[in-house]
Amino acid sequence: MKFKNLHQFLRQEVNRGELGTELAKLIVDISISGKLLDAQIKKYAFSKSIINSSTNVHGEKQHQLDIMAHDIFLNTLKDGRVCSYLISEEYKEILELDPIPNQSIFTVCIDPLDGSSNIDVNVSVGSIFSIYVQDKPASKNSLSLKSGRNQCCGGYLIYGPVTMFIFTYGKQVFGFTLNSELGEFVLTHDNIKLSKEGYTYSVNEGNLNEFPGQVKEYLKFCKHHDQENMLPYKSRYIGSMVADIHRTLFHGGIFLYPSTALFPNGKLRLIYECNPIALIIERAGGLAIDGMRPVLDIPIMSSHQKVPFIAGSYNMVKKVLHLYKNAS
Ligand code: AHG
Ligand code: MN
Ligand code: MN
Ligand code: MN
């Protein structure tokens, strides 16, 4: 693939009329935050001093890097002066920023650090982002976002053996890899597609007894022996959503975080985890549902609402959808 760094790519897309200049600037701001956070993670991942005692709006213990990650995105977006509103996993309220006045209002929703409980055991973690653009006047109320269908851009960064930046703002899903010698994100995947079939399932089986009957039935199917249909499937669960989704996107498969007794509406958050990932999965040719319907169609009722989340290869997720529909 011909060398193209993120700036060259975005300039080309703006010149082609595929991308607005404001959104291009926001994508650059996200990439800068990703580079800064990549460096912080490598610097602080194992230092005991950063185990924090604070909790976030979800009652989750906040790792110091959760807070550092939030601050990095907040400060970069503030300095970039394009974003008007920021919704973050690590902050209860909607943050109002001070953009250069223009006719569009941009709202960015972020999970600054996903999978943070894995940081101190050197497992891949990520950041997830979702962007909406509205004409003035946009209210501060997240209701104005209506649903994930209205995202103008979404994607994630994964901090692993290499750091990658995966995003979509149109028909295609693009992948950039951080070249640490150059300190640049370089285009490595110009049209990521998700296979219709897969042979891996990814779920926290510790919750099996509490899953809805349809999920229990599907997992039984995944485990039964049938060489002709390449069953049983492989089980792979990392516990960082971004890492489990990244493997699913590149190798095919299905990821499930259904409702459980502890999380009756699911654990994953609609606005800054499920919607951006669902946008990537659908644009790559897969399917992302809450059991009964596409996640992107779920009405946004609050900034931190949770939903059950089942996503991956189209034919696999379709099978789960049929189980839910037949049970209803
Ligand atoms: P976060 O670190 O942003 O709070 O997200 C953690 C999420 C997600 O990354 C992962 O899929 C899920 O928690 C794992 O939950 P369990 O440990 O309950 O399986
Ligand atoms: Mn968290
Ligand atoms: Mn998360
Ligand atoms: Mn998080």
Query: How many Å lie between the centroid of ligand 2 and the Cα of residue 17?
Result: 37
Looking at ligand 1, which residue's alpha carbon is closest to its atom 8? 241
Ligand 2 centre to CA of 42 (Å) is 19
pLDDT at 72: 98
Predicted confidence pLDDT, tens digits, the chain (328 residues): 888 999 999 999 999 999 999 999 999 999 999 999 999 999 886 665 555 667 788 888 778 899 999 999 999 999 999 999 999 999 999 999 999 987 789 999 999 999 988 888 899 999 999 999 998 766 676 558 999 999 999 999 999 999 999 999 999 999 999 999 999 999 999 999 999 999 999 999 999 999 999 999 999 999 999 988 889 999 999 999 999 999 999 999 999 999 999 999 999 999 999 999 999 999 999 999 999 999 999 999 999 999 999 999 999 999 999 999 998 7
Cα–Cα distance, 110 to 113 (Å, whole number): 9
Q: Which helix or strand (DSSP H or E) is residue 33 part of?
A: helix 21-44
pLDDT the model gives residue 120: 84
The atom number, within ligand 1, closest to the CA of 257 reads 11
Ligand 1 center to 59 CA (angstroms):
13
**Beta-bridge mates of residue 154:** 130, 168
Contact 187, 201 (CB under 8 A): no
Q: How far is the CA of 282 from the centre of ligand 2 (A)?
A: 25
Cβ proximity of 313 and 197 under 8 Å: yes
Q: Which residues surround the ion ligand 3 when the cut-off is CB under 5 Å?
A: 111, 114
Question: From the annotation, which residues make up the binding site for substrate?
Answer: 114-117, 204, 237, 267
What is the Cα–Cα distance from 29 to 178, expressed in whole angstroms?
15
pLDDT of residue 53: 63
CB contact at 8 A, 308 and 290? yes
130 forms bridges with which residues in the sheet? 109, 154
Residue 4: predicted pLDDT: 94
Quote the ligand 2 centre to 201 CA distance (angstroms).
23
CA of 308 to the centre of ligand 4 (A): 17
Q: Which atom of ligand 1 is nearest to the CA of 60?
A: 4
| Nearest residue by C-alpha to atom 6 in ligand 1 | 115
d(CA 55, CA 271): 20
> Judging by DSSP bridges, how do beta strands 83-88 and 91-96 pair with one another?
antiparallel
3-state secondary structure of 151: strand
Task: Please name which of 75, 71, 78, 127 lies closest in space to residue 98, comparing C-alpha atoms.
Answer: 78
**Identity of the amino acid at 102:** N
Contacting residues for 197 by C-beta, under 8 A, at least 6 apart: 252, 313, 315, 316
Could you identify the residue written with the tokens 């150059």?
182
pLDDT of residue 274: 98
What pLDDT is stored for residue 1 in this prediction? Answer: 80
Could you tell me the two tokens for 181? 């010698």
Residue stretches of the annotated binding site = 89, 111, 113-117, 204, 237, 267, 273
For ligand 1, residues with CB inside 6 Å are: 60, 89, 111, 114-116, 204, 239-241, 257, 267
Pocket of ligand 1, candidates 114, 118, 201, 304: which has the most ligand atoms within 8 Å of its Cβ, to mutate?
A: 114
